[in-house]
Structure formats: C-alpha cells, structure tokens
Amino acid sequence: MAKLFHFLPLFCLNLLFIVTFFQTVSAQTAISPAPSGPTNITQVLEKAGQFTTFMKLLKATQVSDRINSQLNNSNQGLTIFAPTDNAFSSLKSGTLNSISTQNQLQLLQFHILPTLYTISQFQTASNPLHTQAGNSDDGEYPLNVTTSGNQVNVTTGVIDTTVSNTIYSDNQLAVYQVDKVLLPMALFGQGPTAAPAEAPAPTKPEKSVRASDAPKGSSDSPAVDSSAVGLNGYSGVTLFAAVFANAVVSYLWM
C-alpha cells in the first residue's frame, strides 16, 4: 500500500503529460477555413435578386463563363450594366426572339465595358464608351454617359436610362443596375421597342452589396490527408504505451 501511494504522484504526472500532449496535437492539426473563392458574376446576380432574365441570357450565350474566366485569369477590369427583370418585361413581346442568337450575344456584350469604371470615374469618361459588342466609333454601338453629381445617365441612341444602384463593386469588377435594357443602334435603330409604361410604383432604396458580401466560391472543405491522421494517432498510442511502461517499471523498481 505504501508503494502504491508512493507511485500515485508519478502516475498523475504522466497522465497530465499525456493530456497536454494530445491537446497540443489537436490544436496544431485543426483544419483552417477554406479560402474565399473567385468572383462569380452569376452568384453576384443571384445574391442581388431581380436579375433572373439577364442571368439566364448570360448563361445561355456562355457570356458568364467568359466574364468569370477573364476575372480569374487576368488583371483587366470589367463594368457591367445589369437590366432588371422589369426592364426585360417592359420590352415589346417577342423583341428578343426577333433577333438571331448572334445578335443576342452582341446585345449582352453591349452591356459590358472592358474597363473598370467607378461612379466617380464616369465623370471623366470619354464618349462614346467602348463595349464588348464592337466598335462604337462607327455609330452602330455607341454608348454615352453623362453625370450629374452622383447620378449617371446612359444613352444608346435608342433609349435613355440611369444607373439606379450599385450591385457590386471591387477593384476588378463593377456591376450597376439599370432599369431599361440597353438597345444598340445596330440592332434596334428604329427607336424604342418598349411596351407602354404603367404608372411608376414608389420604389424603396436598395442597399449596395459590398465586396466583402460578395458571393464566395465553393465552400467545400479540402480533403484531410488520411496518412497524416494515421501517423498522429499511431504516435499518440506509442507515446501512451511508452509512458505507461515507464510508470510500471518505476513502480516495480520501488
């Protein structure tokens, strides 16, 4: 019994060492959060809401893939004017179906500027702005902006509208809400093709989506290296056995 009480402090000390060791290993092997994914135009529009038609057209023409590829593989900035679902609904019935698939592609590209513009930079922009639809100098795809304070007015020669909200903005991409589809002269040179407008309903101010609220990439966590886990487990068992054996030998020696 005396030997047992003499052995007890040594056993407790060994047990404390084992617990401390495993706590340290657990802290060191904790999985860090997955890094934020690249900017995705589809996710930006999904998060903002009310851009379903524009988003579907971007997907159908694969323009969204090109946008994402450019954002992820180059340092070139982009500016996108995103028409709302109501903007598409206000077009005359069959407007989009009356043009070819190639022209639909050009219509979407007309909403994309291959340069990043902040709201303040529109004040010093040179008209006509160059779009991805083609050369604006030949009069087919002219896109002009004018500013009044923080208000940005956009005209195509067919329609006039204003930037009503900043959907998303960071150091590479800016997405602005417009309440009319930007119709280029090359495709709709006969004038506006909008349906008769109803009395405008009062609108509520919308909140801008900050870059930090931008949609993230895949949230899937990286796979854990099973070999590392096995090694840690094996080392822990080995250490426990060694300490326990040392304790038993110490007890018998005493």
What does the alpha-carbon distance between residue 192 and residue 96 come to, in Å, rounded to a whole number?
13
Are 207 and 129 found together in one domain?
yes
C-alpha to C-alpha distance for 91 and 34, rounded to whole angstroms: 43
Same domain, yes or no: 8 and 49: no
Mean pLDDT value across residues 191-204: 49
Q: How many domains does the chain have?
A: 2
Lowest model confidence (mean pLDDT) among 58-67, 68-77, 170-179, 228-237: 228-237
Assess whether 195 and 173 both reside in one domain. Answer: yes
Least confident span in 15-24, 86-95, 202-211: 202-211
User: Does one domain contain both 108 and 191?
Assistant: yes
Tell whether 218 is covered by a domain: no
Sign for the pseudo-dihedral over CA of 190, 87, 131, 105 = negative
Q: How far apart are CA 10 and CA 17, in angstroms?
A: 11
- The larger pLDDT score, comparing residue 231 to residue 113, is at 113
What pLDDT does 169 receive? 95
Q: Average pLDDT of 158-185?
A: 96
Q: Is residue 95 part of a domain?
A: yes
What mean pLDDT, rounded, does the chain reach? 75
Q: Which residues pair with 163 in a beta bridge?
A: 178
The answer to whether residue 221 sits within a structural domain is: no
- Answer yes or no: do 143 and 177 share one domain: yes
- CATH of residue 196's domain is 2.30.180.10
Span 237-249, average pLDDT? 49
Q: Which domain holds residue 249?
A: 2-23+226-253
**Is residue 31 assigned to a domain?**
no
pLDDT over 90, % of the chain: 49
Mean pLDDT of 166-193: 88
For residue 157, give Cα distances in angstroms to 26, 43, 109, 218: 65, 31, 17, 41
pLDDT for the residue numbered 40? 93
Q: Which residue has the higher pLDDT, 163 or 220?
A: 163
63 & 104 share domain? yes
Same domain (yes/no): 143, 92: yes
**Position 38 confidence tier, pLDDT thresholds 50, 70, 90:** confident
Is 167 contained in some domain?
yes
Residue 28 has what pLDDT? 42
Residue 71: the pLDDT is 92
pTM as predicted: 0.62
- If asked whether residues 129 and 54 sit together in one domain, one would say yes
In a shared domain, residues 164 and 87? yes
The pLDDT, as a whole number, for residue 160 is 96
